[in-house]
Each structure stands twice: as C-alpha cells, then as structure tokens.
Amino acid sequence: MTMRTTLTALLLATLAGTTLAKLPAPSDEAKAKAAETAAKTAHAGKVDNYKLCLAMDKVAASYQASAKKAGKPAPAPTETPACADPGPFVSTLPGAAPAAAAAPAPAMAAAPAAPAKK
C-alpha cells in the first residue's frame, strides 16, 4: 500500500505543477473581442432593465385602472424616472458593419408559407 500511496502522491504533485502553468498573454485581437463581448453584455442588461421598466409601468397602470373601476381608492403612484430606451447596440470594433446594415431580422416577420399540395 505504501508504494501505491507514494505513486499517487507523485502523480498528483506532477499534475498540480502542470495546472499552475501560466497561459500566454492574450493578443490585441482577443482583448478587443473580450471588450466587445463585455460591451454587448452590458447593453443586454440595459435592454433588460428597459423592458422591465415598461412591464412595471404597464402593471401599475393596470392596477390603477382596476382599482378605479372597482370604486376603491388606489394609492397615489410613486414617482419614478421615465424608462430610457438604450437604443441599438453599436459595435466598437474597427471595421465593424454599421448598425443599419447589421440589424437583425425581426423574430416573427411573416408566417411560414403553407406546404405545396401534391
């Protein structure tokens, strides 16, 4: 058993040394791509917050309307800042396509065509 334990310890020490090896520094292109990904993620967060703000405004308006319709006194709405649309994402990479050309197609542009009859 001591031989097996020794070999296991030696193997683990060898593997630990290889896991601590340093990776090469990222290239300028990789750094730019990482920055672009971070910017896209930040923009997606802003879009999500905008959509959440619109949904909260819709729910509050619905609650106010239903309370008024039921004849119940609804509390005065809390003043909040207006929802700010972040707009489309604009790439910061050099040589990137303009926003108008890179705009994605609408998700539900048209219903799929009916299959042809045989």
* 58 part of a folded domain: yes
d(CA 115, CA 118): 9
- pLDDT for res 109: 42
pLDDT tens digits for range 5-44? 888 888 888 877 666 778 889 999 999 999 999 999 999 9
Q: How many CB atoms lie within 10 A of CB 66?
A: 11
* 65 part of a folded domain: yes
Q: Is the pLDDT score of 91 beyond 90?
A: no
Q: Is the pLDDT score of 79 beyond 80?
A: yes
The answer to whether residues 92 and 35 touch, using CB atoms and an 8 Å cutoff, is: yes
* 117 part of a folded domain: no
Taking CA atoms, 7 is separated from 1, 11, 19, 32, in Å, by: 10, 6, 18, 45
- pLDDT for res 110: 44
Number of structural domains (the chain) is: 1
Q: Is the pLDDT score of 83 beyond 80?
A: yes
* 52 part of a folded domain: yes
Domain span at 63: 45-70
* Mean pLDDT over each residue of the chain, to the nearest integer: 81
Give SS3 for 10.
helix
Our CA angle for 98, 40, 105, nearest 5°, is 55
Q: What does the pLDDT average to over 71-86?
A: 89
* 89 part of a folded domain: no
d(CA 33, CA 27): 10
Q: Is the pTM of this model over 0.75?
A: no
* 62 part of a folded domain: yes
What is the percentage of the chain residues whose pLDDT exceeds 70? 76
